[in-house]
Amino acid sequence: MALVLRLYVSTAAPSSSRAIVNTRAFCEEHAAGHYELEVLDISERVVEATADQVVAVPTLLRLWPLPVRRFIGDMSDPGRLREGLGLPAAPQAKEQP
């Protein structure tokens, strides 16, 4: 099952640039080949942002699987994202004797 994500950003906000980089890196590491990411500039997509009830940027929406989940910020906490998106924990590296 693929993740369907929508990231609302503002081109004027440095945190939005970080959110784009962080979200793409996270998705490639934890869901490579199993996600769709749509990045929308809130100033150009006001109707969609209103319908999605976006009140701050950057905001990441998990649209699928349901229920819809929202994450606000620069997406710099991969543990919070992984847990919130319902992805399994990364396997622990085995210690060498």
- Give the CATH number for residue 35: 3.40.30.10
pLDDT of residue 18: 92
Q: How many domains does the chain have?
A: 1
Predicted model pTM: 0.85
90 in a structural domain: no
pLDDT of residue 67: 92
> Where residue 13 falls among pLDDT bands split at 50, 70, 90?
confident
Element of type H or E holding 36: strand 35-41
Element of type H or E holding 61: strand 59-64
Residue 71: domain span: 3-75
| CA neighbor of 41 nearest in space, from 6, 76, 69 | 6
What are the tens digits of pLDDT across the range 29-88?
988 899 999 999 999 999 999 999 999 999 999 999 999 999 998 899 988 998 888 887
15 in a structural domain: yes
Mention every residue, 6+ apart, whose C-beta is less than 8 A from residue 74: 15, 16, 18, 19, 22, 58
| CA neighbor of 54 nearest in space, from 75, 70, 65 | 70
82 in a structural domain: no
